[in-house]
Amino acid sequence: MIKCPSCSQAIPDERQSCPSCGTALEDSSTPTRRLVDGPNDEPVKKGSSPRSHSPAKSRSSSLSAQSIDNARFVPGTILAERYRIVGMLGRGGMGEVYRADDLKLSQSVALKFLPESLSTDGATLARFHREVRVARQVSHRNVCRVYDIGEVDGQQFLSMEYIKGEELSSLLRRIGRLPADKAIEIARQLCAGLAAAHDNGVLHRDLKPANVMIDGDGNVRILDFGLAGLIEEFRDDEVRAGTPAYMAPEQLVGEELTTRSDIYSLGLVLYEVFTGKRAFEASSLPELVELRKSGTMPASPASHVKDIDPMVERVILRCLEREPAQRPASALQVAAALPGGDPLAAALAAGEMPSPEMVAAAPKEGALRPAVAAALLAGVLGLLALNCFLSGQVALYRMIPLEKSPEVLKERAREVAKRLGYTDAPTDSAYGVYPDRDYLQYVMDHDPSRSRWDKLSTGQPPAVYFWYRQSPRYMVASGINPISTADPPQDVSGMVNVLLDTQGSLRLLSAVPPQKETPQEQSPVADWSALFAEAGFDQASFEPVASIWVPPHAYDVRAAWEGVYPANREVRIHVEAAAYRGRPVYFEVVNPWDKPIRQEQRQGTRSDKALTIVIVTLFLTALVGSTLLAHRNLRLGRGDRKGAFRLALFFFTIRMLVWLFDAHHVWTDDEVLLFLEHVKGALFLAGFLWLMYIALEPFVRRRWPEGIIGWNRLLAGGLRDPLVGRDILIGALFGTAQILSNYLLDLFPKWLGRPANKPLWDALKLLGMRYFMSSLASLFLSSLFLAFVFLFTLLLLFIILRRKWLTAIVGWLIYLFALSLAVSDKPSISLIFAVTGSLIYVTCMYRFGLLANISALFFFHAWVFLPITTELSSWYAGDFVLALFIYVALACYGFYTSLAGQPLFRGGLLQD
């Protein structure tokens, strides 16, 4: 008894073919069916491409003898006046194969003939004709090419590509299993060829090692589409056709065939390639069929090969699942799951949730070509230089006199307070700057000229104020708010508020008189001239008028005057003053646009209210939605808790650094309360971000993992990962482009001869290094937070709309609406730049992902909210140089990292 090499059924020695599968039986030293011979091939060495070995040469003589005795055609026979027979290559259940020379095209071909007994079978002939029609639809380097069909003396034959090499089955019988690296290469090529067939709707149905050739170059060629067919054309009686040892369970029982049926056969072939063993062994065909029907899984490949890659073992066993739905959906998915493939794509195609580690390790290309990286860096640096130049025309702090630093103005304010009678050393003090938005709006409404902002250079009236507060007690603002002109309230005797313009001239004085006093027979006479001198006014040029503005604190005498600014006589001003016991407690320069804010509530514009509603709605939606989604993900065990904890901890740490630099610290018990308040606020924001991450990350990982690969790698500590560098560099380009867009929003009207828009006043916290560091940290946190809110909004839209392109459009419209409200005070062509700005961020998020969007937001916000100047002699130039250094350093880091070690210059460019 001998065993059939295809189905393993025991067969009597005298039989020449298997009664079950029709496979021709030959000597064990001879391949069962070969379309090749390889007498000159070299032996296989470890790590090299498998080729035909010298044993094949020794077998050729016996094969030739058998062909001469049993073949239909002897060598030299001319068929169809075109093909000259060279010799018989082999025979199988579906016919005989000959090597021949195509005399017309002068090339070797293989001719496949049906068995003579089947030549008159109409069904067999129909299947044979279908083989040609089907096989010609598949054109791939890993599939044997089929040329044409012909007929000789009533016998049908098929002409196909002649491949010099060896059957995979013969190779495996000789060497056992392939080396791991070559096995993976063979497996990938098998998947590629099978995928090409499936892409054309073709099932092979008889994939086995005997139908796989390894050509002279070591490449895979899939053969024998004799049982193949279009999926929709199979009849019930054809379903079971094939080799039982390599049939899928559903094929054995005659159920519907799909591409996953071929995937099962692929798994059996891969099992042999990697282990050298068959997945299922049985003494008879019925035993084999029963074994396969029972759903018994084969022995683990690791039981045969201990050092087999776990990824290989996993994909093979998945291919051999009993239920088709549990197998990989495609051959390409199998290839992606192999070592060195794309496990992320494989997991997604399988409908699985990729792990955060899998996302971070996904082989997404990150390294940029040197020319591309250099162009991106040049673009960032060029935009930075252009924005530096344009900032002088759009930034408010570049339009006003700003020669004195905050420290100088602080000393000036203390001096003013002393000169006006407040000589006691304060226990606590604070200072800051703010723009007069009412004045800027007044100019917008009343001056339609193209050069309406040029008058800001006089500093009269001031567009920016410097405020200073001193107190005999430590000042503690409410909640986590910083000290301001009104918080804490001015309600402690001895508190003094001083308001100066940027040139150091007094514009407001407010002091709290004693709560309890010693009776005096007569109060000293108030000297108003000292107030006018500190304000830089000539009292003689002002006309006394009735006092109409009531001082905020107790007084015993008050007065008022009207006049004009010495440097701007177009603006008429009202001056109020009050004194208590001869010492000034109130002085204020009232401009025409000033409102009695203690009496009248400031009314916001409709756009401001709408923007507030949009922001609050988004915040509440994000908070509630994140809570619900996070609870669901945690319940299902989907959340990336480690990543969320790292992110929240990082956010909390940076937020506390902001408190360290920005908060007004006091040496009392209140400092503990302030610390706890800031901890509470930081914990809330960090917790909110944790919630959003737990809620968002699994969905993004499942539906759009390529959007967070760079972020996950950064979170995992991949600071030198080229994809991280690429995203940061591209984000820098998008961010600086957005800055230019904002600048053009203000400059285009002026260039077109129309009234210029309101200047940018955001970067007015020019208070030295301490506040610079806190601002930088705050801007980073806001960029991080806004990027996640934006991502949450897009994900929510995707869940509702179920279309990525539709989500992008609706998300862009929402962002466009919010941005239009933000620039509503700049009506001139604001819509154009709102469209541009929103498109920049949506494109950045969708095309390059979360990390690139965070980078873009950071570069944009840092440039807008930190001082920029081309006048390096200015007192805030140091802050600008530091900011510029950070911008350029980040861009250069992204550039260098994105190269992944590639040389910037190739060849002999720098050589002699």
Question: Which positions are catalytic?
Answer: 206
Q: Report how far apart, in Å, the C-alpha atoms of 367 and of each of 214, 356, 370, 378 are.
A: 35, 21, 9, 17
Long-range contacts of 23-26 (CB under 8 A, 24+ apart): 23/92, 23/93, 23/210, 23/243, 24/90, 24/91, 24/92, 24/93, 26/66
What CA–CA distance (Å, rounded) separates 248 from 260?
Answer: 9
Long-range contacts of 384-392 (CB under 8 A, 24+ apart): 384/736, 384/884, 384/887, 384/888, 386/740, 387/736, 387/739, 387/740, 387/743, 387/863, 387/868, 388/868, 388/869, 388/870, 389/870, 390/740, 390/743, 390/747, 391/743, 391/868, 391/869, 391/870, 392/869, 392/870
| Residue partners of 422: CB distance under 8 A and separation at least 6 | 470, 494, 496, 511, 583
**How many Cα atoms are found within 13 Å in the side-chain-facing hemisphere of 746?**
20
What CA–CA distance (Å, rounded) separates 50 from 47?
Answer: 9
| Residue partners of 425: CB distance under 8 A and separation at least 6 | none
Dig out the tokens for 158 from the structure: 């098929």
Can you say how many angstroms the Cα of residue 67 is from the centroid of all Cα atoms in its chain? 63
Strands (E), 346-495: 428-435, 464-471
* Closest of 704, 663, 690 to residue 804, by C-alpha: 704
* Closest of 565, 831, 889, 846 to residue 700, by C-alpha: 846
**How many Cα atoms are found within 13 Å in the side-chain-facing hemisphere of 217?**
7
Dig out the tokens for 96 from the structure: 């005989």
Terminus-to-terminus CA distance in the chain, angstroms?
77
> Contact 603/814 with Cβ under 8 angstroms?
no
> Contact 21/243 with Cβ under 8 angstroms?
yes
What CA–CA distance (Å, rounded) separates 857 from 731?
Answer: 8
- Angle at CA of residue 114, ends 108 and 116, nearest 5°: 125
What CA–CA distance (Å, rounded) separates 652 from 688?
Answer: 11
> Contact 336/345 with Cβ under 8 angstroms?
yes
Amino acid at 867: P
| Residue partners of 869: CB distance under 8 A and separation at least 6 | 388, 391, 392, 398, 876, 877, 880
* Closest of 145, 143, 254 to residue 193, by C-alpha: 143
> Contact 359/708 with Cβ under 8 angstroms?
yes
Q: List beta partners, residue 484.
A: none
Q: How many residues does the chain have?
A: 912
| Residue partners of 283: CB distance under 8 A and separation at least 6 | 8, 10
